[in-house]
Homo-oligomer: A and B are copies of this chain.
């Protein structure tokens, strides 16, 4: 495999930490939701129903640290308002991320079928 001047497995040590970030379930979801535009903390929390407030904060901090997301304080005092948005770097990620999501959306049924079939087969072998 060639990735520019990189190769797998040669430099997979270098890109795998980035893939960990990009591949992180919560980070992915946050980026996807923010691809619709800037959103406030509470909105993010409500739109990603399954996320806990702890993980949302942790994820946002990590994404901010990597320069993928930026944080703006709209109102310092009560009620405080904080808005999150994608940076340019973050926006450059949404295209390849969308591609992956589209693949997922397209193949989720197929994968679930295969999984069920595989499990059924395995159970049959147990008995026989």
Q: List the interface of chain A (C-beta within 8 A of B).
A: 1, 3-4, 6, 8-9, 11-16, 18-25, 28-29, 32-33, 35-36, 47-50, 64-68, 89, 92-93, 95-108, 110-111, 114-115, 118-119
Contact = CB atoms under 8 A, between A and B. Distances in A.
Q: Give the top 4 A-B pairs by smallest Cβ distance, nearest first.
A: A23-B23, A67-B114, A18-B104, A96-B99
A92 B98 CA distance: 15
Q: Copy number of this protein in the oligomer?
A: 2
11 contacts: A3-B101, A3-B105, A11-B105, A13-B49, A64-B118, A65-B115, A66-B115, A67-B118, A68-B111, A89-B114, A93-B107
The interface residues of chain A, by DSSP majority, are classed as: helix
Q: Which of the listed residues A8, A16, A49, A102 has the most CB atoms from chain B within 10 Å of its own CB?
A: A8
B111 A15 contact: no
A18 B14 CA distance: 24
